[in-house]
Structure formats: C-alpha cells, structure tokens
Amino acid sequence: MTPRLSVPKEKLKFVLLEGIHPSAVEALKQDGYSNIVTSPKALAGDELRETLADAHFLGIRSRTFLTAEVFAAAPKLTAVGCFCIGTNQVDLDAAMHRGIPVFNAPFSNTRSVAELVLAELILLMRGIPEKNAILHRNGWVKSAANSYEVRGKTLGIVGYGHIGTQIGVLAEHLGMSVVFHDIEAKLPLGNARQAPNLDALLQQADVVSLHVPETPQTQDMIGAAQIARMKPGSHLINASRGTVVDIDALTAALESKHLHGAAIDVFPVEPTGNDAVFTSPLTRFDNVILTPHIGGSTAEAQANIGKEVAAKLIRYSNNGSTTSAVNFPDVALPEHAGRSRLLHIHRNVPGVMARVNERLSSAGINIAAQYLRTNDDVGYVVIDVEDATRSAALDALCQVPDTIRCRVLY
C-alpha cells in the first residue's frame, strides 16, 4: 500500500543523533515542532531500527550508517538531514527510491577543517608531536634536527574543493608553494598549480593533505605504491575519510621512516560514541597526531550546521521544497498560503503525470498550481489545491499506480 504521510506538525517525530548541536532543536521548536528525541551517540542495528520505527525526520552526522535495510524498517521516514558534509554513510539511492530526500551542510565546517590542517602542517614540519611526547615523559631533547619552516615548502592538496581551496589560500599566506590534484579541472586560487596527476603531486610535496570525499575511486587511494612515491621525509595529513588511506601501508612507511610524520583525523572504523574504545596501529608513533574526527567540530561550525540543516528539514516539512537535497529532484517552491499543498513522489515511468491529472480531474479537483521535477528514477510533483478539496485530492493521488509516497502539508 502507498504510504500516506499526513501528520500535523506537532505530531511529527524528529530523531537527532550523534550530539547534533542544540541550535537544531531550538530552530525546530521555534517553528512549532515539539516531538524531538536526541541522543549523543550514533545508533546501529536493532537500536537504530527501533528508534526509526515511528520517526518522520532523522538527523545524523558521519557515524550513523543508513542502509537499504534501515530505510525498510523506517516506514514513516520523510527526510534525512546529515548535519555534516559527507553523505557517504547514507545509501542515497535507497533513500531516493523510498521517496526520502537527504540534505546536508556543504560549507559550514570547511573553515574549521582548514584551520586544523594548517596548524597540523606547521606542527609536523617542526617535529612538535615527538617533542611534546618526550616532555610528557619527562625527557628533554632540544634540537633543530628534522625541524623546518613551512615557508618555501610545497603543500600538495588532493581534492581541491571547498576545504582544499581554503587550505591552499591560507598556506600561500605562510609562503608555501601549493600544488593540487583533482579529477575535475579547477580554477587555481592564488599561485596554486594543478598537477597533471596524483603521482606528480606526490613526488614534489613536502606535505600531502587529503580532501576528497569517500567514493569507490578514493577507497585506499593512498596505499603502499602512492606512499612510496612521496618524498622521503615528507608528511601525510588525512582529514577526509578513513577509507582513503591504507593504514597498514602508512604504518609501514612510518616504521621505515620513509615518512617523518602524519596527522590523521579519520579512521576506517571509528568508535560510535565517547565511551567506546579506540584502537589503531598508529597509536604507537609519537610523530603522528591523532584526533577523534574533530576536523569540523568547532562551536562555530556545529552551531551553524545545526541551524542550516534544521532549516532545510523545516522547509521541506512546511513547504515541500527540496532545494539542495543531494539525492532528489530539486524543487524550489513559493508559499502556498490559503491553499493546500500535496506532495506526490513517484517512479519516473511514462504516463504517471497523465494519470495524476486524470484522477484529479475526474474527482472534480481544480489544480491551482503544479510543480514537477524528475531525475532518471524518481519524479516529484507538488500540487496546490483549494482547501475544501484537500482530502479528496489526497485520496485520488495516493491511488495513482507507481506512487512511492503522497502527503498533504499542514
């Protein structure tokens, strides 16, 4: 049976996991949403399925994995907000086929990551992580060996997007020379140069910093062969995704001293909460800065992300707009004051729109406005009708073959 999801605002249940900033709850409450459940942790397995059994909206960060099975157990789920940049933790295709748009915050924490990386590259080039560790063990090694200024050195940026470009600009202000590698042709900012390929970048950089998304192509992108091409004594920074670096290859390169140091913020497997245990072969190296995936975890970034993604969920819930959804036809809608708005998500097969209009017409319903966007698989049509015909219109729409979801906005 076609899910018919029409629920008054105060009954819509929002679940916000992974310690999403209170600014999200504030925004939701201000808009009249009161059924909000929060948790500081990521959830998985039965716990996640039980929590989602009656949830309409879900907010997550990078550690809650939403698979096709999870969506199958969440019949009322209407939209997902990733309160972060990465959406690799969500099966976007499965969400789309269930009529669930997924939103994220594509910019809000990028400056925070850029600042952390800048700090790390200076600390690594000066050998500070080892020196710090020695003093914490009551030792004292005052030496200029393996300690360098960053001025005049080369920074290699892999993935020249929102974060990579900011780091490039900041590093040039420190007097560094910037080279980048990206699968797209990119406008170089400042004096940065696009390397002809990844190998060319690895061979010339004193510090390599990774800023690519998690995709099948970036899986183990930096393995033994790539590390071998890096300059002896160079450094690696990864604040992108844990799957991008082969940790065993990095461990071997640190053991052989081919690399002088590394700063790693993300790991192939990360603990689900602050009470869990972290293990990694990298913990034994003094010359490795390890941070618990906090590249984007600043007060400023989290507060902004909370507001930004909550606003996207509120807009979709109140008005039906899917603007900036990462997996869905993009429909930007005007207000619908004085009318009722129906949302109809369907499989994008021939004849659906004809049947939608036929059914409404034979039920005697006048269409005041209609907006349609499709992608290869899914169509999203929004129809405004007079308030008096709302219920009949919903009945007619929900019976159209190939409907995935239909609902009326309150």
Ligand X SMILES: NC(=O)c1ccc[n+]([C@@H]2O[C@H](COP(=O)([O-])OP(=O)(O)OC[C@H]3O[C@@H](n4cnc5c(N)ncnc54)[C@H](O)[C@@H]3O)[C@@H](O)[C@H]2O)c1
Q: Which residues bind ligand X (CB under 6 A)?
A: 85-86, 109-110, 113, 158-164, 181-184, 211-215, 217-218, 239-241, 265-266, 293, 295-296
Closer residue to ligand X in complex, CB, 52/325? 325
Helix/strand/coil for 169: helix
Chain centre to alpha carbon of residue 374: 23
Contacting residue, 16, 52, 80, 84, with ligand 3PG by CB under 6 A: 84
Using CB under 6 A, pick the residue from 17, 52, 85, 227 that binds ligand 3PG. 85
Q: Are 17 and 82 a contacting pair, CB within 8 Å?
A: no
Which lies closer to ligand 3PG via its Cβ, residue 297 or residue 304?
297
Among 297, 318, 319, 322, binds ligand 3PG (CB under 6 A): 297
Helix (H) or strand (E) holding 371: strand 367-374
Site string for ligand 3PG, 250-289 (x = CB under 6 A): ----------------------------------------
Q: Whose CA is closest to 295, among 140, 46, 120?
A: 120
| Shortest Å distance, C-beta 64 to ligand 3PG | 9
183's contact among ligand X, ligand 3PG, none, with CB below 5 to 8 A by partner kind, is ligand X
Task: Choose the one of ligand X, ligand 3PG, none that binds residue 61, judging by a C-beta under 5 to 8 angstroms depending on kind.
Answer: ligand 3PG
Is residue 28 near ligand 3PG by the rule CB under 6 A?
no
Q: Which residue has the tokens 């790693």?
A: 264
User: Would you please indicate which residues are annotated as catalytic (active-site) residues?
Assistant: 241, 270, 293
Residue type, 34: S
Whose Cβ is closer to ligand X: residue 36's or residue 326's?
326
CA 227 to chain centre: 27
The CA distances from residue 162 to 68, 155, 165, 263, 265, in Å, are 29, 16, 6, 20, 18
111 binds ligand 3PG (CB under 6 A): no
User: With binding defined as CB under 6 A, does residue 109 bind ligand 3PG?
Assistant: yes
Residues 6+ apart with CB under 8 A from 251: 281, 282
Residues in CB range of 261: below 8 A, 6 or more apart: 124, 127, 129, 130, 235, 254, 287, 288, 289
- Write out the two tokens for 45: 């397995």
Q: Which stretch binds ligand 3PG (CB under 6 A): 80-88, 227-235, 355-363, 375-383?
A: 80-88
Q: Which does 181 bind (CB under 5 to 8 A by kind): ligand X, ligand 3PG, none?
A: ligand X
Select 227 or 305, whichever has its Cβ closest to ligand 3PG: 305
Distance between start and end Cα atoms, the chain: 22
C-alpha–C-alpha distance, residues 178 and 201, integer Å: 10
Joined tokens for residue 357? 């209009």
Task: Find the residue with minimal CB distance to ligand X.
Answer: 161
